[in-house]
Chain A
Amino acid sequence: MSQEFRLKDIGLIKRNKKISFKFNGKKYQGYEGDTLASALLANGVHLVGRSFKYHRPRGFFGAGADEPYAVVQLYRDGETEPNIKATEQELFEGLEAKSVNCWPSVNFDIGAINNILKIFLPAGFYYKTFMWPKSFWYKVYEPFIRKAAGLGVASTKHDKERYEHKYEYCDLLIAGSGPSGLSSAYAAAKNGAKVILAEDKSRFGGSLLTSDVNIGNQSGKNWAEKIIAELKDMPNVIVKNRSQIFGYYDHNMLVMSEKISDHLPKTKKYHPNKKLWYIRAKEVLISSGSIERPIVFGNNDTPGVMLSSAAKEYMKVYGVLVGKKPLVFTNNDSGYETAIEFKKNGIDPIVLDSRENPASEIVDEAKNLGLNIKFSYVVVAAKGYKKVKSADIALISKDKKKLGKIENINCDCICVSGFWTPTIHLASQSGNKTKFDDNIDAFIPGKSKQNETTLGAANGVFSLKETLKTSFEAGNNLSKKITNIENKVSIPNIVEKKYSKHDKFWCVPLPKGKNYKRFLDFQNDVSVSDIELALREGYRSIEHVKRYTTLGMATDQGKTSNLNGLQLVSDIENKVVPSVGHTTFRPPYTPISIGAIVGREIGKHSKPTRKSPMHSWHEKNNAIFVDAGVWLRPRYYKKGDENLFEASKREAKNVRTNVGVCDVTTLGKIDIKGPDAAEFLNRVYTNAWLKLPVGKARYGVMLREDGIVMDDGTTTRISENHYHMTTTTAQAANVLSHLEYYLQLVWPELNVNVVSTTEQWAGAAIAGPNSRNLLKKLFPNNDVSNENLPFMGFMEGDLFGVKTRIFRISFSGELAYELNVESDYGKFMWEKIVELGEEFKIQPYGTEALSTLRIEMGHVAGSELDGRTIPYDNALEGLVSKKKDFIGKRSLQRLAFVAKDRQRIVGVVPIDKKTNIPEGSHLVKDAKASLPNKKLGHISASCWSVEYDNPFSLAILKDGKNMIGEKLFVMSPLKNKIIPVEIVSSHYVDPKGERVRS
């Protein structure tokens, strides 16, 4: 199909580069430099989608980020992305896009029945209509709404694109490269400031690309090109196009999304799709310009009705006519620029101006060009369903309340200009309390909150001369304060037209007997009657009206609808707009890909992966790994086609009968040194530490100040003023911070230093009845006898030349040792253990067997120390000193903590000795009791006891102390299980602890 709406010689597109693309399955052609919108318009395609609620036909309304209609589903390089604005998407070879919100097709959309049934979908329809009857919700309403709603489909595939984050610091960050942004950037750059200039479109220059002005004896566009070229050459300036500053956060932190690959058929190798910039700026200049406002009239959502500035941009930037019989409907001078541009391209527009007889330079120019202008005329309603075919127009009275006789005129598009709304989003996000400016009927920034300055049209200044003057000054003044350099540039000569006053008019009244929908919010289908209804129903606060009607809550964030909505509310309420107030602007200014926000922190990149020095050995020996915090730990070592259950049982059994070795490198290790170290430990742990001799280890429990157990572990006195503390893998970082808190803030008088040594030591636990025999082989030069190295003893050993710390501690309940060597010797140590352990039938064991061994013994771990239990609950009250004070001691007197029937750890065995008990299940007295069935406790950890060959669990049970021997039920609604169980002691194996001392 030929591009029959493409103009011959005008525009900034590359005519020598043809591009083919597909829309809704049909093939079209455009040029490099087109957007999807401009290329479709060049081909005469105006129907792009259906509206959200009524499924009314939707065309193009704008030419950029403010577009409320033309949201499409994009297909690129085998992927699909929803919520893409056709007005922002640059054309590339092979682009494919589809309409959203329509089924089965954009031309015949079954959801349009909503349009006929719209009586059922008034304001607040979510809250009213679908409430009743309840049974209809799942079967009728929800599927219907799900089918009908939404702005496209998110891909369910893994996103293969790469997104990057970047942190940057600068003196001046400038948002927008229009006349204001260019001037301030140039002035600041000349003063040597570090400048970042961001432009959300692909082309720099903003309004200079489409306005008819002259700067320094050249066209505005040429001046912009010259400035940009100079800025790009300066080493202290970063100039970025396709980069949207979408959020202004605390302490002058702004976030910018740079589209790096969206305009290409596929992302280049090693390139990201988007880059998110976190920019900390000393000063922020907001030169984000303004957005044209629509005028509200009947059926103003018909395809072919669009902003007059957009129509002009399509002509001047893309060389595209949005229609061949245009009607320009304006309340100010801007509409004339569009009308004149039509005329220059050989098209005769009709201009309707709501003003009576405005005197201005541009109106005179239009008259001289012979344009057909009707003053005091308005569009009453657009006619045509899928495209504007004609317009009902009428004279309007001076007070704008009465309409004259309705006339119908032919047209194929209606270009609307209701004056300009400054883009104040970033200033508002910064915390600036914006103020209403009566001269322009819009909000402008008030007093700066952070270091932000708003300039040009964004600040309500529409004169180019004024904009350039203030922007050069601001750029110069702000930068010289930072750099102490001033290289003042002179402000160029400016030629622009003078503008006359706009008409304070924004909504055409309904003619008698007509009930046209007049839309305020085009994306969410909010009409004048919806706002009126909300007010009739008693909503007053603009924040409430917004949520009730959904005005301004669509993905365009009401860029074209907010002010007209406010005007309507203030008119009905007989208030002025400032006293109605406006809703809060929140980031992001435009929708941002979730992928860009997440960046590289996905999958294995979401956190660091720590591997022990023995990792490669585990890999070679068929270890199946499990995430333990940031560590990878062997869960079990697979032999043949064993599963987890079989392998862990074999490994645990071997520890109980022979000897096993387990990688315990991941345990947190903290080195504690200083003359007051013993006193410090005495305050941190619940038990006594002052008399621990050198060469001895002790098990300790530490509490939070609220009496809850924080962590447990053994600490060893290496020498007089030197201790080695171990923590659980999960709490290692928290415990270190905890210790630092008390040393730095609470007891700074204690002379103690702490440092993490977790990664400095490789650790291996050797456990089982044969472990001492193995130890003797490993340390032939040391006396490791029970007498010389008793339970809880410590010594340094010589592992074939490698200095080793030997701790006689046990987590498994067996005779056991833990060996620590410097990390680099970890693999040497491990291989020696395995080699010399062969004669004792050594086998490595993973975390699953480790759990089994500790559960059987009733040793508590993370699943019991879950941030809800006190020492008593874990049967650790014997470790709580009565004599000395320690962190959290005073809390243990709380009534709930000393209650007679306080929860306590118990063992749980299924009566049938067969059924596995799911962790997290509840314990109840009566399995058949009516709901809610009173919960007596929960299963904290489960295993298969290798000692007794039946399932065994630990539980935290109310009044656990007096429950031994009771028969209860374990209930797991999740697993649909009810299991009769008997409560036993938590020390299921070796309750007297004889093995560890053997």
Chain B
Amino acid sequence: MLYIKCPHCGMRSQNEFSYGGDASVKRPELNKEISDQEWDNFVYNRKSLRGKHWELWQHLSGCRQWIKVQRDTATHEIFNTLKAEEEIN
């Protein structure tokens, strides 16, 4: 079971969180004309990366905040966690 540092609450076990997918995906702006391809990329197309990956988790049974977690998808090593409003760099 992963041990995730919630930027709001500290170290918590994985069973308090729920997974939310790739954190680098940006929702297209509202009312913007976009191609089918762009929309598909947003809704469906995800890279299945091996290695470092920024992803979203929600601290569901804790502070209910969505957070960004940088995790190695192969080893589960966690390098960094950020609050929702903090930019990935």
- Determine if B9 is an interface residue (Cβ-Cβ < 8 Å): no
Asked if A249 contacts B58 (CB within 8 A), the reply is: no
- The answer to whether A250 and B76 touch (CB under 8 A), given A705-B42, A890-B34, is yes
B residues near A737, Cβ cutoff 8 Å: 18, 58, 60
Query: Which listed residue, A278, A705, A748, touches B43 by the CB 8 Å rule?
Result: A705
Closest to B30 in A: A885
- Determine if B3 is an interface residue (Cβ-Cβ < 8 Å): yes
- The answer to whether A748 and B13 touch (CB under 8 A), given A737-B60, A740-B66, A885-B30, is no
Asked if A250 contacts B2 (CB within 8 A), the reply is: yes
Q: Which of A449, A745, A885, A891 has the most CB of B within 10 A?
A: A745
Chain A min CB distance to B2 (Å): 5
Asked if A891 contacts B66 (CB within 8 A), the reply is: no
Chain A min CB distance to B71 (Å): 10
Asked if A706 contacts B43 (CB within 8 A), the reply is: yes
B residues near A884, Cβ cutoff 8 Å: 31
Give a binary string over A721-756; 1 marks a CB under 8 Å from any B CB, 0 the rest. Answer: 000000000000000010011001110100000000
Chain B min CB distance to A429 (Å): 13
A807 to B66, CA, bound (A): 33
- Determine if A251 is an interface residue (Cβ-Cβ < 8 Å): yes
A253 to B66, CA, bound (A): 24
Asked if B58 contacts A741 (CB within 8 A), the reply is: yes
Chain B min CB distance to A894 (Å): 8
A residues near B39, Cβ cutoff 8 Å: 890-891
Q: Which of B13, B56, B66, B75 has the most CB of A within 10 A?
A: B66
- The answer to whether A280 and B3 touch (CB under 8 A), given A737-B60, A745-B56, is yes
Closest to A706 in B: B43
Asked if A253 contacts B3 (CB within 8 A), the reply is: yes
Asked if A251 contacts B84 (CB within 8 A), the reply is: no
Chain A min CB distance to B22 (Å): 12
Query: Which listed residue, B2, B31, B34, B66, touches A744 by the CB 8 Å rule?
Result: B66
Give a binary string over A277-289; 1 marks a CB under 8 Å from any B CB, 0 the rest. Answer: 0101000000000
A158 to B1, CA, bound (A): 29
- Determine if A546 is an interface residue (Cβ-Cβ < 8 Å): no
A residues near B75, Cβ cutoff 8 Å: 431, 449
A449 to B72, CA, bound (A): 14
A705 to B42, CA, bound (A): 9
A167 to B11, CA, bound (A): 14
- Determine if A252 is an interface residue (Cβ-Cβ < 8 Å): yes
Asked if A746 contacts B27 (CB within 8 A), the reply is: yes
Chain A min CB distance to B43 (Å): 5
B residues near A683, Cβ cutoff 8 Å: 30
Asked if B1 contacts A253 (CB within 8 A), the reply is: yes
Interface residues on A, range: 20 to 34
A residues near B85, Cβ cutoff 8 Å: 744, 748
A744 to B2, CA, bound (A): 23
Asked if A280 contacts B13 (CB within 8 A), the reply is: yes
Chain B min CB distance to A759 (Å): 16
Give a binary string over B47-72; 1 marks a CB under 8 Å from any A CB, 0 the rest. Answer: 00000000010101000111000000
Asked if B1 contacts A278 (CB within 8 A), the reply is: yes
A residues near B60, Cβ cutoff 8 Å: 737
Query: Which listed residue, B27, B64, B76, touches A251 by the CB 8 Å rule?
Result: B76
Chain B min CB distance to A143 (Å): 42
B residues near A746, Cβ cutoff 8 Å: 27
A99 to B58, CA, bound (A): 51
Closest to B27 in A: A746
Chain B min CB distance to A517 (Å): 42
B residues near A893, Cβ cutoff 8 Å: 36
Residues of A255-286 whose CB lies within 8 A of B: 278, 280
Closest to B3 in A: A251
- The answer to whether A251 and B66 touch (CB under 8 A), given A683-B30, A705-B43, A741-B20, is no
B residues near A885, Cβ cutoff 8 Å: 30-31
A745 to B44, CA, bound (A): 18
Asked if B76 contacts A740 (CB within 8 A), the reply is: no
Closest to A255 in B: B1
Residues of B15-43 whose CB lies within 8 A of A: 18, 20, 27-28, 30-31, 34, 36, 39, 42-43
Chain A min CB distance to B50 (Å): 15
Asked if A250 contacts B1 (CB within 8 A), the reply is: yes
A746 to B30, CA, bound (A): 11
Residues of A432-447 whose CB lies within 8 A of B: none
B residues near A167, Cβ cutoff 8 Å: 13
A683 to B66, CA, bound (A): 19
A349 to B37, CA, bound (A): 81
B residues near A740, Cβ cutoff 8 Å: 58, 64, 66
A447 to B44, CA, bound (A): 39
A residues near B84, Cβ cutoff 8 Å: 744-745, 748
A261 to B30, CA, bound (A): 62
A46 to B78, CA, bound (A): 53
A residues near B64, Cβ cutoff 8 Å: 740
A residues near B58, Cβ cutoff 8 Å: 737, 740-741
Closest to B26 in A: A746
Chain A min CB distance to B23 (Å): 8
A741 to B84, CA, bound (A): 9
B residues near A251, Cβ cutoff 8 Å: 1-3, 76, 78
A705 to B85, CA, bound (A): 21
A residues near B2, Cβ cutoff 8 Å: 250-251
B residues near A253, Cβ cutoff 8 Å: 1, 3, 13
A86 to B18, CA, bound (A): 43
Closest to B34 in A: A890
Residues of A858-914 whose CB lies within 8 A of B: 884-885, 890-891, 893
A977 to B52, CA, bound (A): 54
A residues near B36, Cβ cutoff 8 Å: 893
B residues near A744, Cβ cutoff 8 Å: 65-66, 84-85
A737 to B42, CA, bound (A): 19
Asked if A891 contacts B43 (CB within 8 A), the reply is: yes
Chain A min CB distance to B17 (Å): 11
Asked if B65 contacts A252 (CB within 8 A), the reply is: no
Chain B min CB distance to A913 (Å): 45
A residues near B1, Cβ cutoff 8 Å: 249-251, 253, 278
A890 to B37, CA, bound (A): 12
A890 to B42, CA, bound (A): 11
Closest to B58 in A: A737
Give a binary string over A166-183; 1 marks a CB under 8 Å from any B CB, 0 the rest. Answer: 010000000000000000
A748 to B75, CA, bound (A): 32
A893 to B37, CA, bound (A): 12
B residues near A748, Cβ cutoff 8 Å: 84-85
Give a binary string over A670-691; 1 marks a CB under 8 Å from any B CB, 0 the rest. Answer: 0000000000000100000000
Chain B min CB distance to A449 (Å): 8
A residues near B30, Cβ cutoff 8 Å: 683, 885
A residues near B42, Cβ cutoff 8 Å: 705
A16 to B13, CA, bound (A): 49
Asked if B34 contacts A741 (CB within 8 A), the reply is: no
A278 to B65, CA, bound (A): 25
Asked if B3 contacts A741 (CB within 8 A), the reply is: no
Chain A min CB distance to B57 (Å): 11
Closest to B31 in A: A885
A252 to B11, CA, bound (A): 13
A744 to B60, CA, bound (A): 13
Closest to A748 in B: B85
Closest to A431 in B: B75
Interface residues of chain A, those whose CB is within 8 Å of chain B, are 167, 249-253, 278, 280, 431, 449, 683, 705-706, 737, 740-741, 744-746, 748, 884-885, 890-891, 893
**What are 14 A-to-B residue pairs whose CB atoms are below 8 Å?**
A250-B3, A251-B1, A253-B1, A683-B30, A737-B18, A741-B58, A744-B85, A746-B27, A748-B84, A748-B85, A890-B28, A890-B34, A891-B43, A893-B36
17 extra A-B contacts, CB within 8 A, seeds A737-B60, A740-B64: A167-B13, A252-B3, A253-B13, A431-B75, A449-B75, A705-B42, A706-B44, A737-B18, A740-B66, A744-B65, A744-B66, A744-B85, A748-B85, A885-B30, A890-B39, A891-B43, A893-B36
Give 6 closest A-B pairs by Cβ, nearest first.
A251-B3, A885-B30, A744-B84, A885-B31, A250-B76, A744-B66
